[in-house]
Amino acid sequence: MIILLLLLAALVVVGIVLAAVVVKWLFILAVVAALCWIILFFARRTT
């Protein structure tokens, strides 16, 4: 029973770490997409 609880705790820790990594990369992609949108918006506006 203790082994199962330790396994569950390890899975929870791995899940939290993976969630943090995924959220970080999604945030980076959102910032890049926003910068591209702003650049294209002003590029279209000037022409």
Which residue is it, tokens 């918006």?
Answer: 41
Q: How many residues does the chain have?
A: 47
| Whole-number pLDDT of residue 25 | 96
| Whole-number pLDDT of residue 47 | 61
Which residue is it, tokens 């702003």?
Answer: 38
C-alpha gyration radius of the chain:
20
What is the value of pTM for the model shown?
0.62
Give residue-wise pLDDT tens across range 1-47: 999 999 999 999 999 999 999 999 999 999 999 999 999 999 988 76
Q: Quickly count: other Cβ atoms within 10 Å of residue 13's Cβ.
A: 10
The DSSP code for 27 is H
Determine the Cα–Cα distance for residues 12 and 20; give it in Å rounded to an integer. 12
